[in-house]
Structure 1
Amino acid sequence: MKNINAYAAQTANEDLAPFKIDRREPGPGDVEIEILFCGVCHSDIHTARNEWGGTKYPCVPGHEIVGKVTRVGKEVTKYQEGDTVGVGCFVDSCGHCENCEEDLEQYCLKGPTATYNSPSPLDREVHTYGGYSSHIVVKEEFVLKISDKLPLNAVAPLLCAGITTYSPLRRWNVKKGDKVGVVGLGGLGHMAVKLASSMGAEVTMLSRSPRKEQDANELGAAHFQLTTSEENMKNMAGRFNLIINTVSAQHDYNQYLNLLKTDGVMVLLGIPPKPSEVQAAQLIMKRRSLVGSLVGGIKETQEMLDYCAEHGIVSEVEMINIDQINEAYERTLSADVRYRFVIDMKSLKNQN
C-alpha cells in the first residue's frame, strides 16, 4: 500500500484536517490517478458531519475528481500514463444485476460502491476514501475520459453536479421548444440551466431571491420568476413540460406541481430533511408525475462529459486550497459561492 496525504473528518463535530491514508497498489485492472482538482459537493458536508447517518470515520470526502493517470495495471486497455481522467460518485458495482446490465450502475441492486464512505469491494472491513487526497486507485471500468479542450478545474463538478442534472434532462427527452423550469440556482441549478438551454429548451429560473436574476440570464435562462409572488405563481400555472427541482431545504412541492402542463414531470434532485406532503389531486387531475433521479451510470456520465466538451459547457467555480475547506463548507451552507468550490489539490503536497 501507498501512504499518501489527505484531509479527513475524524468525527461529526470536528473540522477536516490533514490525515494520512493508505491506497492499494494498482492491480491488473486498476488505474492509479494523481488528483489535480476535486469539487466540493453538498453531499460531502452531509457525510462529513453525519447528517445522513452511517458515516464511517475517518471520513475523506470528494467525488468530483479530475486528474492524470500515473500507473495502470497490466490488463488495462483504455488508459495509459499521462491521460486526463475523472472519477465520479461511485467506483464499483456488482456488474451482474439487471440495472448494472442496463448501464445503470448507480442503481445497482446490491448497492454501488461510493467513492467515499462505502465498504471496499476488496475488503468489507475497510471503507473507501474520496478525492480530498493526492491519489486514488480505481477499476478501469469506473474511470472516465476527460477532454483537454476545457479548463480541468471547471470540469471537476461535472462529475456530480453535471451528471445529476444531465441525466433527467436526457431521461425525459428535453428538446428544442420544451418549457423547462429550474428550482434553485446553486451548484445543481446552474448546471441545469446551462444544460437545458443548450438542448434548446426555453428555461425559466424559479427562485426566491431577486439577486439571482442577472446570473440566471447570463447562464442561459430565458425567463426569471420570483416564487415568493403569488401572482407570478398563479400566472405560471400549467406552463412547464419539466421542472428540475434542486432544492434540499424544506419547501412545498404542491405549488410547483401546479406549474406543470398535463403529463408534465417534476424531478426531485434534493433531499429535504423532513418528508413533504403531496396533494394527490395535483397529480391525478393533470396526469402529472413527481419523480426522483440520482446521478447517471458510467456510460451516461461519459456521454455527458463528451457533450459538455462539444458544447463548451463547464461549471462556474471558485478555487480554494485544501486548508480552506472548512471555511468553504460554511460558505456553501450560506449559499456564498458561485456556484461550486473546487480544491486545487497541489495545495495538499506540502502537508505534514
Structure 2
Amino acid sequence: MIKAYAAKQAGQSLEPFEYDPGALRPDEVEIDVLHCGLCHSDVSIIDNAWGITQFPVVPGHEVVGKVGKKGDAVRNLEIGQHVGLGWHAGFCGTCGSCATGDHNLCAAPQETIVGHHGGFADKVRARAHSVVPLPDGMDLAAIGPLFCGGITVFNPFVQFDVRPTDKVGVIGIGGLGHLALQFAGKWGCEVTALTSGTAKEKEAREMGAHHVINSRDPKVIEAAAGHFDFIISTVNVKLDWNLYLNALKPKGRLHFVGAVLEPLDLQVFPLLVGQRSVSGSPVGSPATIATMLEFCKRHGIQPVIEQFKFSQVNDAIAKLKQGNVRYRAVLSH
C-alpha cells in the first residue's frame, strides 16, 4: 500500500489516504519519495479550477526520490538511484511529438496528478522514460521545483533560441520568475525584472536582474518601447499586454508561461509592423529537463525554498494561497 495525502472533493483539505497501486508494470519504476515541491498547479488541481481533476486526487508533481523498484523492461535506471519526476508520469511514445523528442507535447500523455496519484506520498510510480536521473552534488531538497517551475521557464530559452546578447524581461518575480531571472542571468542576457512593487528589488538583483521596473506603471513600460528581444510572463493576472508588445524590439517575442485565464486583448498592428511574436509553452521534455539540471549544476542555480514536513501539507497550501511563500514550498519526509 502507498501512503499519501489526498483531497476527496474540490477545495477540500488534504487528508491521509492509502491506495494499492497494483502490480508494477514492466516499463515502470516506483520512486521512494524524499521531497516534493508544492506548485500552484497542485492547488488548481485540488480546487478543480481547470475542470480536469479526478477525485480522490493525490497532488505533487515535483518529486525527488530514489528508485525503490523497477520493472523488468527498465534499462535506464537503477535501484537506489536519485531521480526526479515532473508534470508527466508517462508518454504514448508513438505520436509525432514523441518521435521527434518533444515528449512534453505528447498527444496522449499521462499527467502525474491527473488520473494518476502524485508525489504527496511515500511512493509514486511512473513510466521510466518520464523519470530523469539527478546529477551528483545537487541539493536534493531544493531540486524538486525545477521539475515544473524550473523547466517551465528554462524550456523557452531552448525552444526560441534566446541569445546571450538578448535583452530579456521577466514579468513577475515569484515561484517561476525568480528562476527565470537566474536562468536569464547565467545565460548571459541583460535582464530586467518587471515586478508589481519594490519589495523584491534587492532579491531580484541578487538573482540576476540588472534592472528592476514597476510592471504596473504604464509610463515606465511605455518608456521601454523597443527595448526587449524577449519578454517572458510568469504571472496569472491580466495586464495591458499591448504595452508589453510595444516594449519589444522588431522580431521580439512576448512569451507566456503563466496561465492567464482571461482572453488576451492584443492589437495586431504592433505585431505586423514589428514582425513580433506572441507564444506560450508548457514544461519541457525529459531530455530538456536533463539539460536544465546540468545547467543548474554548472552555474549554481537552485530554487529558493521553504521546507515543510509532509504532515504540514495543508499549512503549506494555505501559505501558498496567501502568496506568502518565498519562493517555492517543498514537502520533506
Q: 1:43 matched to which residue of 2?
A: 41
Question: SS of the residue aligned with 1:307?
Answer: helix
Distance 1:148 1:25 in 2: 31
Amino acid aligned to 1:53:
G
Aligned residue identity for 1:201 = C
Counterpart of 1:249? Answer: 237
Return the alpha-carbon distance in structure 2 between the equivalents of residues 272 and 153 of structure 1.
29
The farther-off stretch of 19-28 and 33-42 is: 19-28
User: Which position in structure 2 is the counterpart of 1:113?
Assistant: 110
Residue identity in the other structure for 1:198 = K
Q: TM-score, normalised by structure 1?
A: 0.92
The offset of 1:70, in angstroms, is 1.3
User: Residue 181 of structure 1: CA displacement?
Assistant: 0.1
Matched, 1:263 2:260: no
Equivalent residue number for residue 163 of structure 1: 151
Following TM superposition, by how much is the alpha carbon of 1:182 offset from its aligned partner in structure 2, in angstroms? Answer: 0.1
Q: Report how far residue 62 of structure 1 moved.
A: 0.7
Other-structure match for 2:319: 331
Aligned mate of 1:278, from 262, 266, 269? 266
Tell me whether 1:298 sits opposite 2:286 in the alignment: yes
Paired residue type of 2:319:
R
CA distance in 1, matches of 2:35, 2:179: 18
Q: Is the 8 A contact 1:35 1:68 kept in 2?
A: yes
Summarize the alignment of residues 93-104 of structure 1 with structure 2, pairs less than 5 Å apart.
93-104=91-102
Instruction: Measure how far apart 1:295 and its partner are.
Output: 0.6
1:304, distance to aligned residue in structure 2 (A): 1.1
Q: Which residue of structure 1 lines up, in the alignment, with residue 80 of structure 2?
A: 82
Match of 2:64 among 43, 63, 66: 66
Q: Does 1:198 align with 2:179?
A: no
Preserved contact between residue 218 and residue 243 of structure 2 (Cα < 8 Å): no
**In structure 2, distance between residues paired with 1:227 and 1:314:** 25
After superposing on structure 2, the runs of 4+ consecutive aligned residues of structure 1 that deviate more than 3 Å are none
Q: RMSD over aligned Cα, in angstroms? A: 1.3
- Partners of 1:27 and 1:52 in 2: CA distance: 30
Q: How does 1:7-26 map to 2 (within 5 A)?
A: 7-26=5-24
Q: Deviations over 1:170-213 (max 9, x none)?
A: 11222222100000001110110001111100110001111110
Unpaired runs of 5+ residues, structure 2, are: none
Q: CA deviation at 1:150?
A: 1.1
Q: Which residue of 1 aligns with 2:137?
A: 149
| 2:163 is equivalent to residue 175 of structure 1 | yes
Distance in structure 2 (CA, Å) of the matches to 1:215 and 1:66: 26
Q: Which residue pairs with 2:298 in the alignment?
A: 310
Contact 2:138–2:297 (CA under 8 A) maintained in structure 1: yes
> For the Cα contact (< 8 Å) 1:24–1:137, is it kept in 2?
no
Separation in structure 1 between the aligned mates of residue 21 and residue 135 of structure 2, nearest angstrom: 26
Cα separation, 2, equivalents of 1:312 and 1:269: 23
Q: Alignment partner for residue 3 of structure 2, among 5, 14, 33?
A: 5
Match of 2:32 in 1: 34
Task: After superposing the two structures, state which structure 1 stretch, 324-333 or 38-47, moved more.
Answer: 324-333
SS of the residue 1:94 aligns to: coil
Tell me whether 1:209 sits opposite 2:197 in the alignment.
yes
SS at match of 2:146: helix
Partner of 1:349: none
Structure 1 residue matching 2:202: 3-state secondary structure: helix
Correspondence for 1:56: 54
Q: Secondary structure at the match of 1:242?
A: strand
Task: Answer whether contact 2:91 2:130 (CA < 8 A) is retained.
Answer: no
Q: Percent identity?
A: 38
**Residue segments in structure 1 that go unaligned for 5+ positions in a row:** 118-126, 347-352
Asked if the contact 2:170–2:191 (Cα under 8 Å) also holds between the matched residues in 1, the reply is yes
How far apart are residue 303 of structure 1 and its match? 1.3
Residue aligning to 1:120: none
Determine the C-alpha separation between the residues in 2 that align with 1:24 and 1:170: 38
What TM-score do you get using the length of structure 2 for normalisation?
Answer: 0.97
Q: CA deviation at 1:284?
A: 1.3
Aligned equivalents of 2:261, 2:254: Cα separation in 1: 19
- Once the two structures are TM-superposed, the CA of residue 252 in structure 1 deviates from its matched residue by 2.1
Deviation at 1:276, TM superposition (A): 2.4
Structure 1 residues 141-196: Cα deviation after superposition (integer angstroms, max 9, x where no partner): 11101023111111110000111011001112222221000000011101100011
Deviates more, 1:273-282 or 1:242-251: 273-282
Please name the residue that 2:221 is paired with.
Answer: 233
SS in 2 for 1:210: coil
Q: Is the partner of 2:176 in helix, strand or coil?
A: helix
